[in-house]
A = this chain, B = another copy of it.
Amino acid sequence: MTRLWNEPADFANEMVDGFIRANTKWVRKTSGGVARSTRSESPEVAVVIGGGSGHYPAFAGLVGPGLAHGAAMGNLFASPSARQVESVIQATHQGRGVLLSYGNYAGDVMHFSTAQNAARAAGIECRSVVVTDDIFSAPPTHKEKRRGIAGDLTVFKVAGAAAAAGHDLDNVERVALLANERTRTMGVAFSGCTLPGASEPLFSVPEGRMAIGLGIHGEPGLEETDVPTANELSELFVERLLAEAEIPDGVTPQGARVVPVLNGLGSVKNEELFVLFSRIAELLETAGITIVDPQVGEFCTSFDMAGVSLTLFWLNDELEELWNAPANTPAFRTGSAHSGSLIAAEDENAAVADDAIAEASVASQTAAARITTMLSAMSNLVAENADELGRLDSVAGDGDHGIGMQRGVNAAAAAAAKAAERGAGAQTLLNRAADEWSDRAGGTSGALWGVILKSIGEHLGDTAEITAGSVSAGVSAASDAVMAYGGAAVGDKTLVDALVPFATSLHERVAAGDSLAAAWAEAARLATHATERTSDMMPGLGRARSHGEKSLGTPDPGAVSLSLIVTMLGAQLADA
């Protein structure tokens, strides 16, 4: 939903004002919209685009050298008036004629046509290219009835590049028509959008469903399905856009060169678009298509509508040259001052992974096998408790402690198993497991568990017999290292609150002559007790302050996972 406005009626005007203030490098205000704030030395055919507002960067974000000369900016989702278009024509024409280009909507067609007639009557040569890229808005037999959506970009870019290259109006019109003929788009939507001040969404899609072909103003689609996986959506896009009826005349997909434009409508974010694009690129390549200069981002939006479209722009040599020509606008910049002086880079310093396994004693290999079993049990334990750990973390953190622990311990267990197979001793195995845990879990807890495993490994070595003394010394070293590394002390409501009493007790009991199993069980009991006490603590300095009160009554998730793990391992030691 749109949240920020003053008077809804003023929204469009204030938006235009802010857009211009933010982009004086490229645009100046003109009656009815914006025009470039610069012009090239030789006069050009003027390319005037436009449409309703609410689709940024369409249309005003595409005004600048190498692209459009001006944009008529209508009210929200409403076409600009004929007078607005006329004013932008007047402000931009340079005596070489004007190309109007816009999406195929009834209101836009009316107003732009009226403006074209008026401009012609005033002696300005004027042509129009109406964009019709949306394959779902009419069948292939009625391509001229199709709406214009994100494919606007390719038509405008080609027209702007031709104008910048000094082409005459005939040629600018010809290449724009050719670009439109070779541009096809398919869109889907998951939710609608609410205009400033409106109490209801302009249109909506049921939760968990996807509308296929829904237009950028909520015009209805063709079908509705459940939201598919990312790969399924990529496959749907490519399948429909490579259907025989959608391949432009004279084009064979095998060997063709295509610019894909993967467009987010507002709330589908870049990360999701990249996941989609990973599969789309694969599918296009499998079809024998060469991908040229792919575009992934927002090119034609509907406020914060959750939707996505894929455009395929089928190049020929002429169109490719025009597409690649430099352009520099508020929202579309291509062709760099840098390109001359750069050379392709390779991974010259690529580190060669040190994969050798240090020699180990049979005793240490036996201990390593036992540690592998323990890590595997830890992995099961964390999986069972992941939801609860996430819940605890969501009170005072970002809720991903369970997920992070799972990723880490699973990776550590797998690495340990691999190292054990290759005959690693305890230290080498714990080192590998520590690296993987830290690497895959990321975040703070991953780093700390990496430190714990590494510290213990250093005290076990690859050749020595494992004794209660070496284990307790390793745990003490781990406790010290975690405090030094993480900067937390006892009482800060972190895993240190469980680790320190555990390590201290283990050390004391072992020194007093207890067996490892007995000492461990008692230490685990104390760790659990200390973990419960973290419920009464306020988070330490390292944590965001105002979560303090909120997290009172909840134990620290890092301490909880540590005490769960040492308790379970205690039971294993007792059984052995």
Residue of B nearest to A87 (CB): B351
Q: Which residues of B contact A343 (CB under 8 A)?
A: 38-41
Bound-state Cα–Cα, A278 to B6, Å: 12
Contact (Cβ within 8 A) A4 B145: no
A422 at the interface (CB under 8 A from B): no
Q: Which residues of B contact A41 (CB under 8 A)?
A: 341, 343
| With contact pairs A22-B294, A229-B5 given, residues A56 and B269 touching in the complex (Cβ less than 8 Å) | yes
Q: Which residues of B contact A217 (CB under 8 A)?
A: 398
Contact (Cβ within 8 A) B349 A91: yes
Annotate A75-101 by CB proximity to B: 1 below 8 A, 0 otherwise: 111111111101100111100000000
Q: Which residues of B contact A173 (CB under 8 A)?
A: none
Contact partner of A337 among B31, B267, B326, B542, CB < 8 A? B326
Which residues of chain A (22-40) have a CB below 8 Å from chain B?
A: 22, 25, 28, 30-31, 35-40
Contact (Cβ within 8 A) B2 A440: no
Bound-state Cα–Cα, A248 to B218, Å: 48
Contact partner of A278 among B17, B92, B326, B350, CB < 8 A? B17
Which residues of chain A (49-83) have a CB below 8 Å from chain B?
A: 52-54, 56-57, 61, 65-66, 74-83
Bound-state Cα–Cα, A278 to B4, Å: 12
Contact (Cβ within 8 A) A349 B90: yes
Q: Which residues of B contact A345 (CB under 8 A)?
A: 28, 35-39
Bound-state Cα–Cα, A420 to B31, Å: 25
Bound-state Cα–Cα, A230 to B485, Å: 44
CB distance from A503 to the nearest CB of B (A): 20
A486 at the interface (CB under 8 A from B): yes
| With contact pairs A106-B542, A438-B111 given, residues A5 and B347 touching in the complex (Cβ less than 8 Å) | no
Q: Which residues of B contact A5 (CB under 8 A)?
A: 229-230, 272, 275
Bound-state Cα–Cα, A450 to B79, Å: 14
A18 at the interface (CB under 8 A from B): yes
| With contact pairs A37-B345, A294-B22 given, residues A350 and B90 touching in the complex (Cβ less than 8 Å) | yes
A576 at the interface (CB under 8 A from B): no
A407 at the interface (CB under 8 A from B): yes
Contact partner of A233 among B2, B4, B273, CB < 8 A? B4
Annotate A239-273 by CB proximity to B: 1 below 8 A, 0 otherwise: 00000000000000000000000100011111111
Annotate A554-572 by CB proximity to B: 1 below 8 A, 0 otherwise: 0000000000000000000
Q: Which residues of B contact A65 (CB under 8 A)?
A: 336, 338, 342
Contact partner of A281 among B21, B61, B333, B400, CB < 8 A? B21
A439 at the interface (CB under 8 A from B): yes
Which residues of chain A (420-454) have a CB below 8 Å from chain B?
A: 435, 438-444, 446-448, 450
Q: Which residues of B contact A440 (CB under 8 A)?
A: 75, 81
Contact (Cβ within 8 A) A275 B306: no
Contact (Cβ within 8 A) A444 B110: yes
Contact (Cβ within 8 A) B349 A274: no
Bound-state Cα–Cα, A414 to B92, Å: 30
Interface stretch, picked from A462-470, A517-525, A544-552, is A544-552
**Interface residues in chain A, defined as those with a beta carbon under 8 Å from any beta carbon in chain B:** 2-6, 9, 11, 14-19, 21-22, 25, 28, 30-31, 35-41, 52-54, 56-57, 61, 65-66, 74-84, 86-87, 90-93, 106-107, 110-111, 114, 137-138, 145, 190, 195, 198, 200, 202-203, 215, 217-222, 227, 229-231, 233, 262, 266-279, 281, 291, 293-296, 301, 303-304, 306, 308, 326, 328, 333, 335-338, 341-345, 347, 349-351, 394, 398-400, 404, 407, 435, 438-444, 446-448, 450, 485-487, 541-542, 544-547, 550
